[in-house]
Amino acid sequence: MTLAAQDLSIGVRLHDVSLALEPGKITAICGPNGAGKSTLLKAFAGLLQAHAGAVNLDDSNLATLHPRERAKRIGYLPQAHEIAWDVPVRSLVELGRMAHGDTRAEPVDAAIAALNIEPLQDRRAQSLSGGETARVLLARVLAGEPAWILADEPLAALDIGHQLALLRHLRAAADQGAGVVLVLHDLAHAMNYADRVIVLSDGRLAADGEPEAALDVSTLQSVWKVDAQWIGADGKRALIAR
């Protein structure tokens, strides 16, 4: 089970990126604004056309895969939490089953239970707070039982309690075998919670590896142009300016 980019170039935003994602792990994509993080994530979700190179799911090119087949295996959570109509919360979670052509209760209930949103499922979408909406929309992705979960800044606009809870849910999904890929702005979250960090700079791969190595002081200096240092123990790191 692989999801890999090969010599991938998209417009002016991404140049010659080659990397293979791993199932069962949390991979964080980091980089300054405009580095191409969301573009790379959308390309992995099959939502962008490559100008050169390709994204391959197992052995098939994502661009030639039927949209429904792709949707069964890759779940995508964008940064914007758009919900146009005041629909029932449970129907939003059920949308995750769309590619499967069913609204089977079992995976929907499992996703609702995994994110502890049972009390919300009879409410309407527009009555939800920001944190509740984030959980409901992640439940929508989980209900599709995808092999890959791609989320664009899922922690943005959430308070620290909801951020940590969401990270716990994503870790649980990775522990069950899903490949979790997150665009993260908060480098401390990437350092403490990811298994692997990919750093992009100006649309190119700047670093790739375990968090300690990919986010070392010299990378912070060369990519983000900041003079900063990590403090604290393993798994509880914080970044401060020097």
Partner 1 sequence: MNRAVLLFGLLLAIALPLSLLAGRVWLWPDATPNAAIILAELRLPRALLAVIVGAGLGAAGAAMQGYLRNPLADPGLFGIAPGAALGAVVALWFGYTASAWLLPLFALLGAGGAMALLAAIAGRTGGIALFTLAGLMVASLAGALTALAISMAPNAFAMSEIVLWLNGALTDRSWREVLLAAPLVGLGVLLLWRTGKSLDALTLGEPVARSLGVNTGALLWTLIAGIGLTVGASVAVAGIIGFVGLIVPHLVRPLTDSRPSQLILPSALAGALLVLLADSAVRVLPFVTELRLGIALSLLGAPFFLWLLIRMRRGLE
Interacting residue ranges for partner 1, rule: CB under 8 A: 42, 45-47, 67-68, 70-72, 74-78, 80, 82-88, 91-92, 95-96, 98-99, 124, 137, 140, 144
- Pick the closer one to partner 1 by CB: 21 or 45: 45
Q: Nearest distance from residue 118's CB to partner 1, in Å? A: 19
Q: Nearest distance from residue 68's CB to partner 1, in Å? A: 4
Q: Which residue from 17, 31, 47, 237 is spatially nearest to 150, judged by alpha carbons?
A: 47
- Pick the closer one to partner 1 by CB: 181 or 191: 181
- Pick the closer one to partner 1 by CB: 73 or 189: 73
Q: Nearest distance from residue 76's CB to partner 1, in Å? A: 4
Q: Nearest distance from residue 122's CB to partner 1, in Å? A: 11
Q: Nearest distance from residue 150's CB to partner 1, in Å? A: 8
- Pick the closer one to partner 1 by CB: 53 or 75: 75
What are the CA-CA distances from residue 216 to residues 108, 191, 236 (Å)?
41, 10, 15
* Amino acid identity for residue 151 in this structure: A
Q: Which residues pair with 26 in a beta bridge?
A: 180
- Pick the closer one to partner 1 by CB: 83 or 164: 83
